[in-house]
Amino acid sequence: MLRSQIDGISVEEILIADFPTVGSEDRVADALSKMRRTGFQELPVVDDGVYAGMISFGSILKKKNLVMDSKIKNMMRVLPTVTAETGLTKIAEHMISTNSRQLAVLNGKKVVGLVSRTGLTEVAARIKALKEIKVWEIMTTPVESLKVDAMLQSALEIMGRLDIKTVPIMDHADRLVGIVGMSEIIDSFWRDDVKTLGDMDKSNKTQVTVESVCKTAVHTIDWDDDIGAAAALMRDEHISTLPVMDDGDVIGILTEYDVIGLISACRDRETVFVQISGLEEDDKIHMDAMYADIEDEMRKISKIYKPESLNIHVTRYNEDGDRKKYSLSAKLFVDGMTVNAKVVDWDLVKANNDVVKRIGSHVTGIKDTRVRFRQRKR
């Protein structure tokens, strides 16, 4: 029923018809300037009226040594495109699999509009069936946060490591006092004389505290509120992230990505949808082993509940010289809720095996978790 309600809404109802574009011969600096000015985090690249690809805010930020005068054609992403006939659950699946915020809607080779995470979140606010799903069932937990006296650079490091765009800010009594997002990071780091993104790290502005730039008027949601109410709040306040509260404590984070993941999980498919993101090219040789471990664990989970989609994000960083360390964050949609796990290890395949086994262990106790929350409600 939920799937039919979502796919019963047409692309035209959420289409963004007024959108900025860039050309493949334009500079990266031109794209960043247009993104900052318009708020779009993915821009269609259009040459002579023909769609060529997308330039992504997140992709640019990952290239510390990228020269700002570089041509956009060297940074274009090959993202899925959609048409006016594409179902919204399929669009959500595309966004989850590519971690994108906007996708191009084509008529032939011409871009006629964009669809965004925000548009899909607006759809979620209208779906009555989502009032039966509670925030705690799909929120992300545990929460990565920073204290008020942490440096802005620390926020950027967390965002890069976890592939997130907002970080809650806590005082020293662990009370929520603000939230810092990517827009605050860029506005604080940006200088007109920047030649590469790495230059921004060297700016004296990185020595300011997160407290001095964070937003202090933070909208929150209660753990037992429904997803429809949360999506409506995101829509009405033009925000993408809601800290989840329980008696004054932050116990989770709900983002547009979580809502889109729920919509994607509603897609009719015969097998579980698995997405591994963030792998470096030289680590992709391990993908077969990783998928084998995932398949084995999904088979075990399916004996308890039907797994719908699994997303694993890999972050690699170097410690002790050239030795590589891996941080894996996993989220499984199963039986209308999400299960999260995180593992850090020197061995990528072992880390992957450990994180899916933790997911499996959490699923085993999922009924007890639901009983506990519902008993609290009574």
Specify if 251 maps to a domain: no
Specify if 280 maps to a domain: yes
E strand map for 165-240: 166-170, 176-181, 221-222
Angle at 139 between CA 134 and CA 143, to 5 degrees: 145
Q: Which residues contact 173 (CB under 8 A, 6 or more apart)?
A: none
Max CA-CA distance within the chain? 62
Pairing mode of beta strands 221-222, 307-318: unpaired
User: Quick one: what percent of the chain has pLDDT higher than 70?
Assistant: 87
Mean pLDDT of 165-177: 90
What is the enclosing helix (H) or strand (E) of 110? strand 110-116
pLDDT band at 41 (very low <50, low <70, confident <90, very high): confident
DSSP state at residue 144: P
Tokens of 255: 């983002």
Q: For residue 190, what pLDDT is reported?
A: 58
pLDDT band at 245 (very low <50, low <70, confident <90, very high): very high
Q: For residue 151, what pLDDT is reported?
A: 86
CB neighbourhood size of 288 (10 A): 9
Last residue of one domain, picked from the residues 70, 98, 128: 128
Query: How many domains, the chain?
Result: 2
Specify if 312 maps to a domain: yes
Q: Which segment of 182-186, 252-256, 263-267 scores lowest on mean pLDDT?
A: 182-186
C-alpha distance from residue 106 to each of 57, 181, 308 (Å)? 21, 31, 29
- Answer whether 251's CB lies under 8 Å from 244's CB: yes
- Answer whether 312's CB lies under 8 Å from 328's CB: yes
Specify if 25 maps to a domain: yes
pLDDT band at 84 (very low <50, low <70, confident <90, very high): very high
Q: For residue 303, what pLDDT is reported?
A: 86
Where does residue 69 fall: left (phi above 0), alpha (psi -120 to 50 degrees), or beta otherwise? alpha
Distance of CA 331 to the CA centre of its chain: 11
- Answer whether 139's CB lies under 8 Å from 155's CB: no
Identify the CATH number of the domain in which residue 81 sits.
3.10.580.10
Specify if 184 maps to a domain: no
pLDDT value at 277 more than 90: no
The residue that leads in pLDDT, 179 or 207, is: 179
Identify the CATH number of the domain in which residue 364 sits.
3.30.160.100
Last residue of one domain, picked from the residues 58, 93, 128: 128
Specify if 362 maps to a domain: yes
Pairing mode of beta strands 146-147, 176-181: unpaired
Mean pLDDT of 208-220: 87
pLDDT value at 371 more than 90: no
Structural domain boundaries enclosing 95: 2-128
| 240 phi/psi in degrees, rounded to 5 | -115, -5
Specify if 262 maps to a domain: no
Last residue of one domain, picked from the residues 66, 98, 128: 128
pTM score, whole prediction: 0.76
Specify if 48 maps to a domain: yes
